[in-house]
Amino acid sequence: MDNVAQYRRTNLQLLASQMNGYAQLARAIGRDATYISQMAGKGAYKPVSDGMAESIERSLRLPKGWLSTPRHSVADLMSDKHMREVYELFDEVSRSSGLPCIGERRRERLVGLLYNVRLRGEKVNEQSVYRLLAHTTPFSVAAAEQRGG
Question: How confident is the model over 76-132, as pLDDT tens digits?
Answer: 555 567 777 887 888 888 878 776 667 777 777 788 788 777 777 788 899 888 888
Check whether 46 has a pLDDT greater than 90: yes
Domain boundaries, the chain: 3-75, 80-146
Give the pLDDT score at 49: 95
16 vs 39, more confident = 39
Q: Using the CB atoms, write b or e for 38-76: b if 16+ within 10 Å.
A: ebbbeeeeebbeeebbeebbeebebeeebbbeebeebee
CATH code of the domain made up of 3-75: 1.10.260
pLDDT of the residue at 51: 95
Inter-helix orientation angle 33-40/3-18, to 10°: 130
Indicate the DSSP class of residue 66. G
